[in-house]
Amino acid sequence: MNFQALRRKSTFERQLMHPALSALFGSTLALAGLILSSQAMAQEKRIIVYNAQHESLAKEWATAFTAETGIGVTLRSGADSEFSNQIVAEGKASPADVFLTENSPAMTQVEQAGLFAPVDADTLALVEDQYRPSGGHWIGIAARSTVFAYNKTKLTEDQLPKSLLDLAGPQWKGRWGASPSGPDFQAIVSALLQLKGEAVTSDWLKAMKTNFKAYRGNNTVLKAVNSGEIDGGIIYHYYWFGDRARTGENSSDVELHYFRNGDPGAFVSISGGGVLASSKHPQESQAFLKWIVGKGGQKVLREGTSYEYTVGRGEPSNAALVSLEDLQAPKIDPQTLNSRKVTDLMTDAGLM
């Protein structure tokens, strides 16, 4: 075969191969485009959560939600008022999609600034009425009960205070403690303010300044009660349950007293969740909120180590807990709790 023939054959083979190569190249580009598109979608399906809930609980929620839905969750953890003030300062420019708190006054602050989107109606329907505000711009996601933790070697049941207000009496001077700088105690005071008014609350706080010992954090209060440093302290129930479930090191001599009868000391604090009106991913954010108060999120509460109460309709709490009904908590619309007024009153009393 001469050179010209070989050249014609080579050209003919290349012409035959071109369509196949072209198709292959096109498929490769399409696949690359699909991968990039999927990566972009995955990137888009990621929400930012300002989380003031316990970090371990929020991580459990986020991990399970992502596994079920494919929507990523970035948690930024801090304190209730720290984040509520930050959100108000950021306004519509906030990078947050969702805000989760331990206590409701911080939620009310953001709501009053007009920065929450309405919660989807089908999500609201998942939560009992008393565990969500009447305005519908955020929703209860968990609950915790106020208790008087007492040292059982120092107090008998008949010596326990009948009301939170009793702790203002001279007989309790130097015998009880609390963590006034924390959002938990401030939420309890906000309930007292709502139920009894400013004058009673102000007098109680001033008497408290004289009577109590200040600690930093509920676990520190629990430890002081257990050691006998104080006879009792105001905390939330789950600190005791959590310590008992671990080692009991700081609760072995401690029992819990529930005030009941609608007393301010029987206050049940609502942890809240809301979607920012400025969210760049409103659909995914609403889905996260719905998942938390639905079966998946409430199961994490029930079976996890947080020992907080469930608030979803028909979702039982951990069997070790006193039922919410038996707590006889006062009925308070969480939307009415006033954190700023509480801060003013506590400052006036010398507690902050």
Residue 121 has which token pair? 């109606």
User: Is residue 184 predicted with pLDDT exceeding 70?
Assistant: yes
Looking at residue 336, what is its pLDDT? 85
Q: Is the pLDDT of residue 18 over 70?
A: no
pLDDT top residue among 18 and 166: 166
Range of weakest confidence among 94-98, 139-143, 187-191, 333-337: 333-337
Q: Would strands 72-77 and 139-151 be described as parallel, antiparallel, or unpaired?
A: unpaired
How many C-alpha atoms does 22 have within 13 Å on its Cβ side? 6
Rounded CA gap, 226 and 249, in Å? Answer: 9
54 marked as binding residue:
yes
Q: Where in the chain is the domain with CATH 3.40.190.10?
A: 46-143+269-322, 144-267+341-348
Q: Which of 99, 112, 89 is nearest to 341 (CA)?
A: 112
pLDDT at site 8: 45
CA-CA distance, 140 to 62, in Å (whole number)? 17
Q: What's the CA gap between 236 and 289, in Å, rounded? A: 24
Q: How far is CA 127 from CA 110, 142, 300, 317, in A?
A: 21, 10, 16, 13
Q: What pLDDT was estimated at residue 334?
A: 87
DSSP string, 55-70: HHHHHHHHHHHHHHH-
What pLDDT is stored for residue 35 in this prediction? 40
For residue 21, the model assigns a pLDDT of 42
Give the range among 25-29, 108-112, 119-123, 250-254 with minimum mean pLDDT: 25-29
pLDDT given at position 22? 47
The pLDDT of residue 32: 43
d(C-alpha 64, C-alpha 248), whole Å: 29
Is the pLDDT confidence value at 348 over 90? yes
CA distance 126 to 130: 12
pLDDT of 44 reads 57
Average pLDDT over the chain, rounded to whole?
A: 89
Contacts of residue 331, defined as CB under 8 A and 6 or more positions apart, other chains included, come to 130, 262
**Residue of higher predicted confidence among 172 and 6:** 172
Return the CATH fold of 46-143+269-322. Answer: D-Maltodextrin-Binding Protein; domain 2 (3.40.190)
Q: Which two tokens stand for residue 42?
A: 């995955």
Residue 12 has pLDDT above 50, yes or no: no
Which superfamily does 144-267+341-348 belong to? Answer: Periplasmic binding protein-like II (3.40.190.10)
Question: Is a pLDDT exceeding 70 seen at residue 26?
Answer: no
Q: If pLDDT is split at 50, 70 and 90, which confidence band does 5 have?
A: very low
- Tokens 């069997």: give the residue: 319
Higher per-residue pLDDT: 2 or 60: 60
Q: Is 50 exceeded by the pLDDT of residue 60?
A: yes
Flag whether 257 is marked binding.
no
pLDDT mean over 77-83: 92
Give the residue from 269, 238, 263, 270 showing the smallest Cα distance to 328: 263
197 in the Ramachandran plot: left (φ > 0), alpha (ψ -120 to 50) or beta?
A: left
Cβ neighbour number for residue 201 with a 10 Å cutoff: 24
Structure-model confidence comparison of residues 185 and 183, the more confident one: 185
Residue carrying structure tokens 């329907």: 125
Q: Are 73 and 46 in contact (CB under 8 A)?
A: yes
Binding residue per annotation — 102? yes
Tell whether 237 is in a known binding site.
no
DSSP 277: T
Give the whole-angstrom CA distance, residue 183 versus residue 263: 20
- Rounded-to-integer distance, Cα 282 and Cα 99, Å: 13
Higher pLDDT, 251 or 81: 251
Contact 106/80 with Cβ under 8 angstroms?
A: yes
